[in-house]
Amino acid sequence: MHLHIIGICGTFMGGLALIARAAGHRVTGCDAGVYPPMSTQLAEQGIELMEGFGPEQLALKPDLFVIGNVVSRGNSLMEAILNEGLPYISGPQWLGEHILQSQHVLAVAGTHGKTTTSSMLAWILECAGLKPNFLIGGVAPGLQVSARFDPASHFFVIEADEYDTAFFDKRSKFVHYRPRTAILNNLEYDHADIFPDLGAIETQFHHLLRTIPGNGRVIVPDGDEALARVLTRGCWSEVVRTGQTTAWHTIEIDPLTFDIHTGDTRLGQIHWSLTGAHNRHNALVAIVAAQHTGVDAATSVHALCSFAGVKRRMEIAGTVNQITVYDDFAHHPTAIRTTLEGLRAQVGAQRILAVLEPRSNTMKLGTMAARLPEALEPADLVFCFGQHGGKHALGWDPAVVLGALGDRMQAYEEMDQLVHAIARDARPGDHILVMSNGGFGGIHRRLLDALGTAAA
């Protein structure tokens, strides 16, 4: 079958393209921005890429157009497809019907930690010799790629996103995945551009629960009120609860070492480079999910000791003049606070400079803005980048909203000014945590260069 994927360079759709190619299909695709690293990955797999959404692409005459959720009505190629009555389908639906139906799907859902936990789970199954298929929104060094498919393998780990499927299907993507094992890691209000309130997201999570078979497993943290409400609406599968008040829990030894317990039984000790209570819990739920495939806890613990994290999750971008710069994807107040607390536990009294670009739709709208001062509290200095007013700008003023941080906070609208200010205020021994869910204008390289110049 020839598939033409519209919006192919996004993480999900690019991964889907690689999976479709591995499944034996001819794949072509287009996007408004055809650029590395996804364009390179796709080209290496023999996938022809086209720039833009021109209606002349109908001349390819694919058997099916696969539509990403970046596409909306008014897109010239989509309008041509509709006018000609040509067959089309969403990416998640195609994946569910043509790939996942024959797999034991292990889905990782939640507001935070999906990419990291999915990567941990895939790494455990890889180390256990199960050669899992996977589609994850990031790249773990050990796995090397974000997507992989071998029809001979029967386990598929997928990052289960609650964002909507396509302009013609407003259900969450994960409704199409039909998992047998599901991690519901946490649930908070997010995606204010498509969900009016937390209750609307809870409904989507309950739709996911309805698709899990009776002999499936649902893994949930104890004490998450939103997930508790989801479960009370009905659950027909085994529920395994995790957390400090349950049988499955962790005991911290030091910031980089912790024990895994079930009841009073110690199953093993993990020592790794990741920090924070959130990562300890991510490891715990990954172990419980892997157990559902037959992987024993000792094997999982051993695997996670060699887990090196995920790109853009507290990834060290570089060190100059004893100043360390980190790249992190955090863009929700809870994730920001958790990441800062994890770094604080690691560096102690050394200074943390938090650099934030509020870039997600939710953050731009200001839905979470009032929670930012508390989220940023663990930082010694805060630098916020974002234009107030104007096209593609924030709907709130960082200088006002973050005013409670006092002299610790600075807000900038020009990148050069931001980089100069950080380099001016940084000193040896500092840790600079850059947080954004986008490229942030290549700030990491620019900042490292500026720190080097300042040191000279």
Domain with CATH 3.40.50.720 in the chain: 2-91
pLDDT digits over 52-62, tens only?
A: 999 999 999 99
pLDDT higher than threshold 60 for residue 382: yes
Q: Read off the pLDDT of each residue in 234-259 and give the average, rounded to a whole number.
A: 94
The whole-number pLDDT of residue 198 equals: 93
Least confident of 361-365, 427-431, 433-437, 438-442: 361-365
Q: Read off the pLDDT of each residue in 84-107 and give the average, rounded to a whole number.
A: 97
pLDDT higher than threshold 90 for residue 452: no
Most confident of 225-234, 337-346, 394-403, 428-437: 225-234
pLDDT higher than threshold 90 for residue 31: yes
Residue 364: band (very low, low, confident or very high) from pLDDT cuts 50, 70, 90: low
For residue 436, give every residue at least 6 positions away whose Cβ sits within 8 Å of its Cβ, in sequence order, or none: 329, 331, 356, 357, 359
pLDDT higher than threshold 90 for residue 78: yes
CA distance to 17, 52, 224, per residue, from 76 (Å): 22, 9, 44
Cβ-contact 32, 72 below 8 angstroms = no
pLDDT digits over 139-169, tens only?
A: 766 787 889 999 999 999 999 999 999 999 9
Residue 95: band (very low, low, confident or very high) from pLDDT cuts 50, 70, 90: very high
The whole-number pLDDT of residue 75 equals: 96
pLDDT higher than threshold 90 for residue 46: no
The whole-number pLDDT of residue 363 equals: 64
The whole-number pLDDT of residue 387 equals: 67
Candidates 177, 171, 175, 210; CA nearest to 194 is: 171
pLDDT higher than threshold 80 for residue 314: no
The domain 99-304 having CATH identifier 3.40.1190.10: the answer here is yes
Superfamily of structural domain 315-455: Mur ligase, C-terminal domain (3.90.190.20)
The whole-number pLDDT of residue 366 equals: 63
Least confident of 29-33, 179-183, 191-195, 198-202: 191-195
pLDDT higher than threshold 80 for residue 236: yes
Residue 36: band (very low, low, confident or very high) from pLDDT cuts 50, 70, 90: low
Residue 392: band (very low, low, confident or very high) from pLDDT cuts 50, 70, 90: low
Q: Which two tokens stand for residue 259?
A: 């024990």
More confident residue, 121 or 395: 121
Q: Read off the pLDDT of each residue in 42-49 and give the average, rounded to a whole number.
A: 88
pTM over 0.85: no
The whole-number pLDDT of residue 341 equals: 87
The whole-number pLDDT of residue 443 equals: 86
More confident residue, 400 or 102: 102
Q: Read off the pLDDT of each residue in 364-379 and give the average, rounded to a whole number.
A: 79
DSSP bridge partners of 181: 106, 217
Q: Read off the pLDDT of each residue in 262-290 and give the average, rounded to a whole number.
A: 93
pLDDT higher than threshold 50 for residue 1: yes
The whole-number pLDDT of residue 391 equals: 47
pLDDT higher than threshold 70 for residue 312: no
Superfamily of structural domain 2-91: NAD(P)-binding Rossmann-like Domain (3.40.50.720)
pLDDT higher than threshold 70 for residue 310: no
Pairing mode of beta strands 381-385, 352-356: parallel
Domain with CATH 3.90.190.20 in the chain: 315-455
Whether the link from the prior residue into 132 is cis, omega within 30° of 0, is no
Report the C-alpha gap between 131 and 1 in whole angstroms.
26
Q: Which two tokens stand for residue 124?
A: 């455990």
Average per-residue pLDDT for the chain = 89
Report the C-alpha gap between 161 and 179 in whole angstroms.
13
